């Protein structure tokens, strides 16, 4: 199984694997103790998509159960893309404002 990185501010996550079936109601996903409720199967048996809120859990464990059968555990690898500051130029004069563009910072840090 493979799980995509989660958008820092929340959004869709994709799990790719096998034997997920075609009925989302039979799939149970738990990330770091949080039960995921908005599961969609976008490709029968192989791709599950769901939405997480911001801050769902860095390095949280992920468990998937399909119709009562537990899938092999995913490593605690539910992660967010690393935040970074975009390059800037030219430098402002001393005491001036430095405009920064950021990517993947959580909203509560802005």
Kindly tell me if the per-residue pLDDT of 50 is higher than 80. Answer: yes
Confidence of residue 110 (pLDDT cuts 50, 70, 90): very low
Residue 64 tokens read as: 């998937």
Q: Look-up: residue for tokens 């959004």?
A: 11
Q: What is the mean pLDDT of residues 47-76?
A: 79
Mean residue pLDDT across the chain: 78
Confidence of residue 108 (pLDDT cuts 50, 70, 90): very low
pLDDT of residue 76: 54
* 3-16 pLDDT, tens digit each: 887 777 778 889 99
Task: Look at 13 and 61; give whichever has higher pLDDT.
Answer: 13
pTM of the model: 0.67
Kindly tell me if the per-residue pLDDT of 92 is higher than 60. Answer: yes
Q: What is the mean pLDDT of residues 20-28?
A: 94
Dihedral of CA atoms 60, 64, 68, 72 in degrees, nearest 10, equals -100
pLDDT of residue 41: 95
């Amino acid at each position: 199984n493979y799980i995509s990185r989660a958008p820092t501010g929340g959004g869709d996550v994709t799990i790719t694997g096998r034997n997920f079936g075609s009925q989302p109601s039979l799939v149970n996903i738990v990330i770091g103790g949080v039960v995921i409720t908005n599961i969609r199967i976008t490709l029968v048996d192989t791709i599950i998509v769901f939405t997480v809120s911001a801050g769902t859990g860095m390095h949280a464990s992920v468990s998937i159960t399909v119709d009562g059968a537990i899938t092999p555990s995913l490593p605690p690898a539910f992660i967010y893309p690393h935040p970074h500051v975009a390059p800037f130029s030219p430098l402002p004069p001393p005491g001036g404002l430095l405009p920064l563009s950021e990517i993947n910072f959580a909203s509560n840090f802005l």
